[in-house]
Chains A and B, each alone.
Chain A
Amino acid sequence: MRNTILSLWFAMAAFAQVKAPMDEASLRNGQTLYQFHCAFCHGKGDDGMAANLVTPNLVHAPTDSSLVNIIRVGIPGTDMPPALGMSDEEMLQVAGYVRSLGRSAPVSVEGNAANGKAIYMGKGGCAGCHMVGGVGGKMGPDLTLIGAMRSPSNLRTSIVEPNAAMVGGWTMVHVTLKSGTKVSGIRMNEDNFHISLRDSKGKIQTLAKADATKIDRDLTKSSMPAYGKVFSGAEMTDLIAYLFSLRGAM
């Protein structure tokens, strides 16, 4: 047991020493690799459909070693795949480049966050589907840390054109049962025989596919309506300022 703890300690000590190189040549190489492997989803870092990388604190990767590990194995259960075709050294260079993106990251944007919060709670009705700090609905992603994970431009796209910012794990499904009953909800699991979904009341149901006559999956259509025409330009700016301020306890 003691040996196990000791060897674990040594393993962790070795792990913690991983440090992304920040010299100019490494950053340049990291940028080239980033363009090829990462930009498809992450864009320039803050304008892609995936997580915002122009941020001083990456929620899933507080350390360089955890960042390299995510590049290596992906984030299971999300759209982030493991990298294929990079050496350890190259993954470190990509990590360095990603860190460099966050160096001058803004922590706030123009607009009035307090006004934005009022819009979120009131006119927008956002809390009907989204949760912040444990309060709100369950039909959409938890937004408690959204300001640390998404860029302002990505937040704007999500609000104006939700279909262009689809998030894995939030597919809306519509099941018609043999009895004629229709059930809709967010798909939580699907295998050959069953489909589990969470309806708008938060109730989880598992339905046998054998009992269904029709199953529709909204793979390219977000369950969130487009809000582009609901808000004025100033309201949108304030709402984004509020969302960008949501960084949990970080």
Chain B
Amino acid sequence: MKSVLLLTAAAGLMFGQDWMHFQGNPQGHRYSALKQINKTNVARMRPAWTFQLDKTDKFEASPIAHNGILYVSEPPSDVTALESRSGKVLWRYKRVLPDNVPYCCGRVNRGAAILGDLVFIGTLDAHLVALDASTGHVVWDVAVADYKKGYSSTVAPLIVKDKVVIGSAGGEFGVRGYLAAYEAKTGKEAWRLWTVPSTGEKGTETWLGDSYKYGSATTWVTGSYDPEINTIYWGTGNPGPDWKGDKRAGDNLYSNCLLAIDGDTGKMKWHFQFTPHDVHDLDSTQVPILVDEMWNGKMRKLVLFANRNAFYYVLDRTTGEYLLGKQYVRQTWAQPELSDKGRPTRMPNTAPTPGGTVVYPNSPGATNFQAPSYSPLTKLHYVMTRDEGGVFYSGDDTYKEGSWYLAGRFVSKPGEEASGAIKAMDPKTGKAKWEYPMSSPSWSGVLSTAGGLVFAATADGDMIALDDTTGKLLWKYPMGGKAFANPVSYIGADGKQHITIACGHALFAFVVD
């Protein structure tokens, strides 16, 4: 056993074949440089093992793989270490949650993070916990926010140098959003960036009266990091309350933004607001993808962003300059063309009303927390998209600490069925090079690999492998559950490349012999 661990540790170090971040790398690519599994042999891919949960909450985790061990966050706020060849349990951390923790959309967790000997997990009661990677024992446990106010942490933390960056959830409870960084070794808070200004601060003028006090703008999907310029890129969620905007007239900064943040100080360098004054719950909490590419004949540091609001964006990530914005999924809330600064023009009569307003996309949006992928081989940005109309209703809600603050609701447009597609977006044009249609929209993310493959799960739990240049289906396997998670790839303790994804209430690992 010991020699196996040593061997696999060596393999991991030698070839960099682990999966060490939520998105595989800090730049947010969800791309694996492994090519043991490739276009010529993927037809022979088979399940190696299945690990089953002992609970029925939604399983949204994206595992971390390091030195032959998988660190899997389980719902609601647990971590399990698995031996990567067999899927057998090595240790378990089970968090005891207080009664009556308010939460929005399931008792979920999207992943752990790792740095050195420590594994980090954000919890439903808004703590950040550091666990010993070899035992699962708690090394430190700090309250990041007060869960009684509606705060929770469902996001996978992001490692930035010697810090652990953790986002907030609770945007449906009128909380004040933040992004916070903690010293990995000690759990001491290093900085905190509030995503909504407080009294007297710049930005409050974008909120009617004191409505900023319940402004939300939470940060519940992991952002990206550029070590070269020490900058974090992180998307923010909807303003509160979700579906009634007249009480919070104005642009509502910094909701629905991409924020560029100094990694050492937490100071905001710039912001770009995709959806000013959102009234359809179009959180801009998608994963920003950082690439260096030629743009109009000049090499530039870019950030690619496929937004829930149905527009695809390219920005200069050093300055925040808007370079491109194109509608990529059906939408009716805005004019199809953005302004030359990237600002949308809202269509008339699209705000929610007491009697209901039909708008595309529905509240779940054009894409959501499904992780995108970028392949440096094809230079394509793979996005899981949804196409569905919604009926939006506005109502009344008074803010009460720890209670829902929605002021409305939505239903799917009756008489229609939602569909979806994996779109291979070309950042140069903002258009899809190919599309793989889905009979119903999937909540799975996408992984691309150096084997020339794109992996994802359909809404019905079929794991699929597509050709990364054509979108042609090359392999599939029915996992028999609904997928809400993102695939990862790494070299297991057996020296084999694994493709691993959570589906239903189980984790599936696939290999080629």
Residue numbers of A with Cβ under 8 A of B are 36-37, 40, 81, 84-88, 190-193, 217, 219-220
Contact = CB atoms under 8 A, between A and B. Distances in A.
A190 to B, nearest CB: 6
6 A-B pairs closest in CB distance: A191-B460, A85-B404, A220-B415, A85-B406, A192-B458, A192-B439
A192 B417 contact: no
Contact of B409 (A84, A192, A217, A220): A84
Interface string B391-424: 0010101000001101001010001110000000
Interface of B: 100, 172, 356, 393, 395, 397, 403-404, 406, 409, 411, 415-417, 437-440, 458-460, 462, 464, 476
A193 B476 contact: yes
A36 B409 contact: yes
Contact of A190 (B437, B439, B464, B476): B439
A36 B409 CA distance: 9
Contacts of A36: 393, 395, 409
A167 to B, nearest CB: 13
A173 to B, nearest CB: 11
A219 to B, nearest CB: 6
Contacts of B100: 88
A219 B416 contact: yes
Nearest to A84: B409
Contacts of B411: 40, 81
Provide the main secondary structure of the chain B interface: loop
A193 B415 CA distance: 23
A85 B393 CA distance: 13
A164 to B, nearest CB: 11
Contact of A85 (B356, B409, B415, B458): B409
B422 to A, nearest CB: 11
B417 A219 contact: yes
Contacts of A193: 462, 476
B22 to A, nearest CB: 26
B365 to A, nearest CB: 16
Given A85-B172, A87-B404, A191 B458 contact: yes
Contacts of B462: 191-193
10 contacts: A36-B409, A40-B356, A81-B411, A84-B409, A85-B397, A85-B409, A87-B403, A191-B459, A192-B439, A219-B415
A192 B438 contact: yes
Contact of A192 (B393, B415, B460): B460
A217 B419 CA distance: 13
Nearest to A221: B415
A87 B172 CA distance: 12
A84 B406 contact: yes
Nearest to B363: A84
Nearest to B391: A40
A86 B416 contact: no
Nearest to B461: A191
Contacts of A220: 415
Contacts of B395: 36
Contacts of A192: 437-439, 458, 460, 462, 464
B103 to A, nearest CB: 12
A191 B481 CA distance: 12
Contacts of B393: 36, 40
A96 B406 CA distance: 23
Nearest to A195: B439
A217 B416 CA distance: 10
Contacts of B172: 84-85
A159 B129 CA distance: 59
B23 to A, nearest CB: 25
B487 to A, nearest CB: 16
A85 B416 CA distance: 25
Nearest to A210: B473
B247 to A, nearest CB: 16
A37 B437 CA distance: 33
B404 A86 contact: yes
A217 B409 CA distance: 28
A197 B403 CA distance: 44
A219 B417 CA distance: 8
A163 to B, nearest CB: 10
Nearest to B105: A84
Contacts of B476: 193
Contacts of B404: 84-87
Contacts of B437: 192
B483 to A, nearest CB: 12
